[in-house]
Amino acid sequence: MPGLKIDADKCIGCGKCVRICPVNNLAVENKKVRETGKDCIRCGHCVSSCPKGALQFADEDDAFKKGWFDGRLVSDSDLNEILSSMGMGTDPDIWIKVLQGAELDEYIESSMDILKKSSSGIPLVKEWEEWNERHDFLEPNPVLWEGKQVLFIFSDSPEHAFSASNKMVVKGFGMGVRGFHSNILMAAYHEDPGRLESFFPGFKGKMYMAFVIGHGRRLIEPLFKPLEKFKGLFR
């Protein structure tokens, strides 16, 4: 399979693409990125996230661009298509909401406040606080990476929630909508569901998923170690 075309003159070795690659196919050496192997799944995240435009597929064509997250909001009509494929409105056991904009900012602030008061000691909370204090919104919110919308699934049934989550991935992937499951937002919900449920008037059941629409994200072990105690919540 053709690999990436790397423009070494443009690459500044920032490592953003390395952190974003879901299969560890990239590494920075001597301040330049290189591919480590042949594991590329052609998700396009590195290409779309490189601030210098140093990456492209060796056989780049427009078909691949469709799936690349470039910071845009998913339109209401695309979201509605995804939500209906997940059973929203037809499966009585599924209730879904997407938060974005000021409402999402407020939700994240409440979630971080909950985790700050808990004993979880999650490093990302500190990272978020520092980012929030700097008030530099040119830097992406570390909780969302570069995502701007979060899709939440509520249900009374873990099976229905799981099925809706799978349908979202299948439908969304085909439409170019990708992202990552946010353990940190789930952790905040499990600490204090009552406080966060006020963001979801009319919700049914309990929250089973918080999915950040945007780049896929590789789990970084040290970041998630403090979440050991939350293991099992999603079984």
Q: What's the burial of 207, exposed, middle or buried (CB within 10 Å: 0-12/13-18/19+)?
A: buried
At its nearest, how many Å lie between ligand SF4 and the CB of residue 53? Answer: 8
Q: Report the C-alpha gap between 161 and 216 in whole angstroms.
A: 20
Residue 59 CA, chain-centre distance (Å), reads 27
At its nearest, how many Å lie between ligand SF4 and the CB of residue 57? Answer: 7
For ligand SF4, the binding residue among 34, 52, 116, 181 (CB under 6 A) is 52
Is 87 or 172 the residue whose CB approaches ligand SF4 more closely? 172
Choices 48-56, 93-101, 137-145, 218-226; region in contact with ligand SF4 by CB under 6 A:
48-56
- 43 contributes a contact to ligand SF4 by CB under 6 A: yes
Choices 42-50, 65-73, 106-114, 181-189; region in contact with ligand SF4 by CB under 6 A:
42-50
At its nearest, how many Å lie between ligand SF4 and the CB of residue 100? Answer: 24
Is 11 or 143 the residue whose CB approaches ligand SF4 more closely? 11
Strand partners, 26: 35
Is 172 or 226 the residue whose CB approaches ligand SF4 more closely? 172
- 54 contributes a contact to ligand SF4 by CB under 6 A: yes
| Amino acid making up residue 91 | D
* E strand segments, the chain: 4-6, 26-29, 32-35, 55-57, 94-100, 149-155, 179-181, 206-213
Is 58 or 233 the residue whose CB approaches ligand SF4 more closely? 58
* Half-sphere exposure at residue 28, Cβ-oriented, CA atoms within 13 angstroms: 14
- 44 contributes a contact to ligand SF4 by CB under 6 A: yes
At its nearest, how many Å lie between ligand SF4 and the CB of residue 7? Answer: 8
Site string for ligand SF4, 8-37 (x = CB under 6 A): ---xxxxxxx--xxxx-xx-x----x----
Q: Report the C-alpha gap between 20 and 123 in whole angstroms.
A: 18
Give the binding site for ligand SF4 (CB under 6 A).
Answer: 4, 11-17, 20-23, 25-26, 28, 33, 40-46, 50, 52, 54-55
